[in-house]
Amino acid sequence: MKSKTEEAELSWPAVYKIRVKGQLDENWSDWLTGLDIGADANVTGASTTTLSGSVVDQAALLGLLRTLHNMHLTLLSINRIHK
């Protein structure tokens, strides 16, 4: 069971770093709630994209993840950087 402090933390803005398979250009930033978009390549040379920025709450995060799913992107990782 979550403490009241943990529940409160999930309802405040937080910065996330999300990696997806494939490459997106900066033009997708408006569709992805203004997140910064960066292209990467891993050791095998496969292209990935890192999305980073502030997400207002867990509902907005869920909406963002749903958008990525609807774009048929493979989610590689998601990390909460800080509040």
pLDDT in single tens digits along all 83 residues of the chain: 556 555 555 567 899 999 999 888 888 888 888 899 998 876 677 889 999 999 999 999 999 999 999 999 999 999 998 76
> Largest Cα–Cα distance of the chain, in whole Å?
44
4-82 sits in which CATH class?
alpha beta
Q: Rounded to two decimals, what is the model's pTM?
A: 0.78
pLDDT score for 1: 58
In whole angstroms, what is the distance from residue 50 CA to residue 40 CA?
A: 7
Query: How many other C-beta atoms can be found within 10 angstroms of the C-beta atom of residue 46?
Result: 12
In whole angstroms, what is the distance from residue 62 CA to residue 27 CA?
A: 21
Of 8, 13, 6, the C-alpha closest to 60 is 13
pLDDT score for 61: 93
Which residue ranges make up each domain of the chain? 4-82
